[in-house]
Amino acid sequence: MTCVYCGGEMLPERAEAGYDYCLTEACQVKGLDKSEREFRKEYTIGLVHKSNFVWVKKSELRSLNVRADLESM
């Protein structure tokens, strides 16, 4: 299998694990950036108390007050 970013050969183990990019630094940055954007489409950060943050699925929120939504669950 080949890397979607550079076209280089990938390790078969990475392809089996679901990755579509190789281990070079440039491809890692692009691949991680893409996966983080996909993650943030579905999840948002919720402040629980002062500096305690938790990832919350956007579809589970009922208002813009994340803390109140978490307490009501």
pTM attached to this predicted model: 0.54
Read off the pLDDT band of 13 (50, 70, 90).
very high
pLDDT in tens, 15-34: 899 889 999 999 989 988 88
pLDDT in tens, 39-72: 989 998 877 777 788 888 888 877 777 767 777 7
* Whether the predicted pLDDT of 5 surpasses 90: yes
Handedness of CA 25, 8, 19, 32 (dihedral sign): positive
E runs forming strands in the chain: 43-49, 52-57
